[in-house]
Amino acid sequence: MSLLHLDSSANRSGESISRELTARYAERWRAAHPTAAYRYRDLAADPVPPVGTGYCTLGRRVERHGGIPLDRVAALAANADEGREWELSRPLIDELLAARTVLIGAPMYNLSVPVALKAWIDRVTFPGAYVDPDTGAPLLRDTRVVVLGARGGAYGPGTPQEGNDFHTPYLRAYFVRQGVAPEHLRFVNAELALADLSPALARFRPQAARSLADARTATDRAVTGGGVGTDGTAVVSRSR
């Protein structure tokens, strides 16, 4: 058992709902697995550098080889730039491969994920990293991914803004493409997080409070894998 805990909210003031939810999950998970390995990364406080030219050229060279073991990638680096890019990438890839559960705090920013999380995604998505080079089997097939987020408005199923949700569908598609089994994905989102701040959303404050309470309950249930629908999304308040 091991947990990789990633936060990506730019708000580190203590007001972040996604950080509150991930801390809640991590506390309960660690209490249930007191001897398990735990790794925390604050992607906002310690940003992952965006990928550069060396990452791209090295990745293309690996692609031409049709996928090779990660231990052989460094030998393919043709220059110092490619070597540096791989040195930045390999530890993050190893962390992801080593984790049995990946916990991600991912608030919705401008209809999608924070740039800090996207930079991590771009860097760990190295060609062939999550496929067994001998068998072609997905190395993340048994990895559990739990995404806890918050959205300023309401984007859940049945809401007027449902079609503008490029946040949860993106993360679901990304992790499935990396080989994570759909049944191992869990999503919990507290909606209407801006209702307490925006006068225009003031009438939705009761729904926002209910959605946050439901998200906390769903977070607790996600520790044991319960309380989700068939698509991995927790059943929380469908605020409109």
CATH number for the domain harbouring residue 126: 3.40.50.360
pLDDT for 175: 98
Whether the pLDDT of residue 227 is over 80: the answer is no
Residue 235 banded pLDDT, cuts 50, 70, 90: very low
Residue 239 banded pLDDT, cuts 50, 70, 90: very low
Q: How many Å apart are CA 103 and CA 6, to the nearest integer?
A: 6
Q: How many Å apart are CA 25 and CA 38, to the nearest integer?
A: 12
Q: Is 220 exposed, middle or buried (0-12, 13-18, 19+ CB in 10 A)?
A: middle
How many structural domains compose the chain?
1
Q: How many Å apart are CA 46 and CA 15, to the nearest integer?
A: 19
Three-state DSSP at 5 gives: strand
Does residue 72 lie in a domain region? no
Q: Is 113 exposed, middle or buried (0-12, 13-18, 19+ CB in 10 A)?
A: buried
Mean pLDDT computed over 103-107: 98
Higher local confidence (pLDDT), 26 or 230: 26
Strand partners, 41: 6
The number of residues in the chain equals 240
CB 7 within 8 A of CB 18: yes
Mean pLDDT computed over 146-168: 95
Does residue 230 lie in a domain region? no
Mean pLDDT computed over 213-227: 89
pLDDT for 67: 75
pLDDT for 66: 82
Q: Is 162 left (phi over 0), alpha (psi -120 to 50) or beta?
A: alpha
Mean pLDDT computed over 75-93: 98
Mean pLDDT computed over 173-189: 97
Does residue 239 lie in a domain region? no
Q: Which residues are annotated as a binding site?
A: 9, 16-18, 108-111
With a pLDDT cut of 70, the percent of the chain lying above it is: 94
Q: How many Å apart are CA 123 and CA 8, to the nearest integer?
A: 15
Range of the domain at 37: 2-51+88-222
The string over 178-195, giving b where at least 16 C-beta atoms fall within 10 Å of a residue's C-beta and e elsewhere, is bbbbeebbbbbbbbbbeb
> H or E segment at 38?
strand 37-42
Does residue 228 lie in a domain region? no
Mind spelling out the 3-state secondary structure of 6-36?
A: EECCCCCCCCCHHHHHHHHHHHHHHHHCCCC
Q: Compute the mean pLDDT over every residue in the chain, rounded to the nearest whole number.
A: 93
Mean pLDDT computed over 14-24: 97
Whether the pLDDT of residue 237 is over 50: the answer is no
Three-state DSSP at 168 gives: helix
Does residue 61 lie in a domain region? no
Q: Is 105 exposed, middle or buried (0-12, 13-18, 19+ CB in 10 A)?
A: buried
Q: Which residues are annotated as a binding site for FMN?
A: 9, 16-18, 108-111
With a pLDDT cut of 90, the percent of the chain lying above it is: 87
Higher local confidence (pLDDT), 133 or 123: 123
Does residue 205 lie in a domain region? yes
Higher local confidence (pLDDT), 207 or 226: 207
CB 84 within 8 A of CB 52: no
Higher local confidence (pLDDT), 224 or 55: 55
Does residue 195 lie in a domain region? yes
Kindly state the tokens that stand for 126. Answer: 């190295």
Residue 1 banded pLDDT, cuts 50, 70, 90: confident
Mean pLDDT computed over 217-227: 87
pLDDT for 226: 61
The answer, as to whether pTM is greater than 0.75, is yes
pLDDT digits (tens, 9 = 90+) for 26-78: 999 999 999 999 999 999 999 999 999 999 999 999 999 887 899 999 999 99
Strand partners, 188: 148
Q: How many Å apart are CA 110 and CA 118, to the nearest integer?
A: 13
Does residue 75 lie in a domain region? no
